[in-house]
């Protein structure tokens, strides 16, 4: 079978686990005898793969924009149509003649036009959902433009099948798109191969909690640091928290407000994957209080495969595969729950030896690529959903012309719509990680519950300062927005705009 893999990024150009899993699939299908070709975006790398990786796509910025003009034009190229990318795909299909297309993340490539090319060339596709990848293609795009590509009715998304890493990511997509996905099978994340079987390493009496991944708020680093401060107050010297990963640790170091916490927490910076796997083998517990919408999360699998027991957000996709108290410790995503779980480990309320062995067996028996690749092959080999007749001939020249014409119509629709209609309100976003103000409130409440303390007064004062600063920034943003609206109407007070922007820049700095 000839399989064309389409992804906005491909290793070594990566953001996270989605791209790495995409490479695992391409490698695995190639090793099973399928003819694989990857189509992805430009990157300053030389590919040394046993199959072609063609870096022919231009990639646009991911962030949605709110203003009309050049930036919004790039947003349309990112999610709706980038004619050059669509033409490159059509020619690649003509040259490679794939039996199936395996889609990954399409944002940045003009994803709706990619789906339109596949429809017009009548190529069956399977969409690997390592994240809520379809959502950005429709969020913030006018209904007239969506209708051009069959996305407003949902027809564009019903022409293939889906393999999703978790029920969690499917639920998010269906909630935010207000429609059910057709023909979905759940295939969890995996590790490439089972880890060597060996008992938990001997410990030195100090419990070692480990973190691996981006040093960022949405990954729960602020919660981990806050919990470490809480636990260090009751168990000084009894544990270490070691964090491995890229990102700026300084904002989180500032939260280490006690000597005991500063002694317990260490930021090591990024490490090679092999080194991190070796660290898992000598650690006790893997901390994973990631955001609630986490599509899956492969790092807990890698930790569990080395006998390192995960503490994880109960709603994360990976938690669907673990039994609480057997393979992992599941928690609500807040500082108190994480601190209580860490204290439970330190106080011996969990049998880590038993849980370590159970977690290792779960991953080895159910969650390796060799086992789960069968599911992907089955999805690729099954006949696709009943296709709707194409609106235009499938010859290459006709497809190229039709895609360019559609893009022209999309821009014409954009220009016809008013400011209020061009970008409708996006579907509700998942709750974000509590920010600094919310964390300060939480700390103040916890301190207050323990009785009078001068730290409460300091916390209250800090909260008041932060809330005042936020109010001032919001006022400045409203003023700048009003001036921008005047600019759209050709009424421009440039001196006022420059003054406001300078004020906003100085305050945000």
State the pairing for strand pair 100-103/184-186: unpaired
Cβ 168 vs Cβ 294: under 8 Å: yes
Q: Which DSSP letter does residue 312 get?
A: E
Question: Tokens standing for 367?
Answer: 């969650």
Q: Are residues 219 and 314 in the same domain?
A: yes
Give the model confidence (pLDDT) of 170-228 as tens digits. 999 999 999 999 899 999 999 988 777 666 655 668 999 999 988 999 899 999 999 99
Name the least confident of 7-16, 220-229, 239-248: 7-16
Are 151 and 83 found together in one domain?
Answer: yes
Shared-domain flag, residues 141 and 73: yes
Within a domain: 327: yes
Same domain, residue pair 46 and 186: yes
Determine the Cα–Cα distance for residues 301 and 298; give it in Å rounded to an integer. Answer: 5
Q: What is the mean pLDDT of residues 373-392?
A: 72
Q: What is the pLDDT of residue 497?
A: 57
- For residue 318, give the DSSP letter: G
Distance CA 165, CA 130 (A): 6
Q: 54-58, 261-265, 322-326, 497-501: lowest mean pLDDT where?
A: 497-501
Distance CA 483, CA 495 (A): 11
Least confident stretch, 268-272, 367-371, 466-470: 466-470
* CATH of residue 183: 3.40.50.2000
Residue 243, SS3?
A: strand
Identify any residues that bridge with 313 across adjacent strands, giving them in sequence order: 331
pLDDT digits (tens, 9 = 90+) for 434-482: 444 445 545 554 444 444 444 455 556 666 666 666 666 666 666 666 6
**How deeply is 208 buried, as exposed, middle or buried, from its count of CB atoms within 10 A (0-12, 13-18, 19+)?**
middle
Q: For residue 228, what are the domain limits?
A: 207-366
**Lowest pLDDT segment from 71-75, 99-103, 387-391:** 387-391
Whether 384 has a pLDDT exceeding 90, the answer reads no
Q: What is the pLDDT of residue 2?
A: 97
Instruction: Write the DSSP assignment of 412-478 as a string of letters.
Output: HHHHHS-HHHHSPPPPPPPPPPP-HHHHHHHHHHHHHHT---HHHHHHHHHHHHHHHHHHHHHHHHH
pLDDT at 23: 95
- Whether 14 and 150 map to the same domain: the answer is yes
CA distance 126 to 412: 31
* Beta carbons of 303 and 310 less than 8 angstroms apart: yes
| Residue 43 in this model has a pLDDT that exceeds 90 | no
The pLDDT confidence band at residue 423, using thresholds 50, 70 and 90, is very low
What average pLDDT is seen over the chain? 83
pLDDT band (50, 70, 90) for residue 50:
very high
User: 217 and 165, same structural domain?
Assistant: no
Q: Decide if 218 is inside a domain.
A: yes
pLDDT score of 416: 75
Q: What is the pTM of this model?
A: 0.77
Looking at the structure of the chain, the number of domains it has is 3
Task: Judge if 116 and 249 occupy the same domain.
Answer: no
195 in any annotated domain: no
Please check whether residues 356 and 324 belong to one and the same domain.
yes
Strands (E), 270-393: 285-288, 309-313, 329-331
pLDDT for position 380 = 93
Q: Are 66 and 97 in contact (CB under 8 A)?
A: no
Q: For residue 225, is it within any domain?
A: yes
- Give the tokens for residue 427: 């579907």
CA of 420: how far to CAs of 115, 414, 416, in Å? 28, 11, 12
Calpha distance 101→58 (Å, rounded)? 19
User: Does 409 have pLDDT greater than 80?
Assistant: yes
Close Cβ partners of 192 (under 8 Å, ≥ 6 residues apart): 24, 368, 369
Say what the pLDDT of residue 424 is: 42
pLDDT at 221: 96
């Amino acid at each position: 079978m000839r399989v064309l893999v389409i992804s906005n990024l491909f290793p070594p150009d990566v953001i996270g686990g989605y791209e790495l899993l995409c490479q695992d699939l391409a490698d695995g299908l190639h090793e099973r005898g399928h003819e694989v070709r990857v189509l992805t975006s430009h990157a300053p790398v030389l590919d040394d793969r046993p199959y072609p990786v063609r870096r022919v796509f231009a990639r646009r910025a991911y962030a949605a924009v709110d203003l009309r003009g050049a930036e919004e034009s790039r947003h349309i190229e990112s999610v709706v149509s980038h004619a050059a990318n669509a033409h490159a795909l059509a020619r690649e299909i003509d040259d490679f003649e794939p039996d199936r297309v395996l889609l990954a993340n399409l944002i940045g490539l003009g994803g709706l036009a990619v789906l339109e090319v596949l429809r017009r060339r009548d190529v069956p596709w399977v969409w690997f959902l390592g994240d809520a990848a379809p959502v950005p293609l429709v969020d913030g795009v006018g209904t007239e433009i969506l209708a051009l590509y069959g996305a407003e009715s949902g027809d564009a998304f019903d022409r293939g099948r889906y393999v999703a890493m978790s029920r969690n990511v499917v639920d998010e997509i269906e909630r935010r798109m207000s429609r059910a996905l057709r023909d979905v099978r759940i295939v969890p994340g995996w590790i490439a191969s089972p880890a060597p079987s060996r008992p938990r390493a001997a410990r030195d009496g100090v419990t070692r909690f480990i973190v691996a991944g981006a040093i960022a708020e949405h990954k729960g680093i602020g919660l981990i640091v806050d919990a470490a401060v809480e636990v260090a107050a009751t168990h000084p010297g009894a544990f270490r928290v070691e964090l491995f990963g890229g990102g700026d640790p300084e904002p989180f170091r500032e939260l280490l407000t006690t000597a005991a916490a500063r002694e317990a927490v260490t930021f090591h910076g990024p490490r090679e994957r092999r080194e991190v796997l070796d660290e898992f083998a000598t650690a006790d517990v893997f901390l994973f209080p990631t955001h609630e919408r986490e599509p899956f999360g492969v790092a807990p699998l890698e930790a569990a495969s080395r006998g390192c027991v995960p503490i994880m957000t109960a709603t994360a996709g990976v938690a669907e595969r673990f039994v609480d108290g057997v393979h992992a410790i599941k928690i609500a995503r807040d500082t108190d729950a994480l601190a209580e779980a860490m204290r439970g480990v330190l106080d011996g309320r969990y049998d880590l030896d038993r849980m370590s062995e159970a977690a290792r067996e779960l991953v080895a028996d159910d969650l390796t690529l060799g086992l789960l690749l069968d599911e992907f092959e089955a999805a690729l080999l099954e006949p696709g959903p009943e296709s709707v007749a194409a609106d235009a001939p499938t010859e290459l020249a006709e497809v190229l012309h039709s895609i360019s014409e559609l893009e022209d119509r999309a821009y014409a629709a954009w220009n016809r719509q008013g400011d209020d209609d061009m970008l409708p309100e996006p579907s509700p976003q998942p709750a974000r990680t509590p920010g600094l103000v919310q964390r300060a409130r939480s700390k103040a409440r916890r301190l207050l519950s323990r009785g009078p303390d001068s730290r409460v007064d300091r916390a209250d004062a800090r909260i008041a300062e932060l809330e005042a600063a936020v109010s001032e920034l919001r006022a400045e943003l409203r003023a700048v927005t009003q001036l921008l609206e005047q600019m759209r109407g050709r009424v421009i007070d440039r001196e006022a705009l420059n003054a406001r922007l300078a004020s906003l820049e100085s305050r945000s700095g």
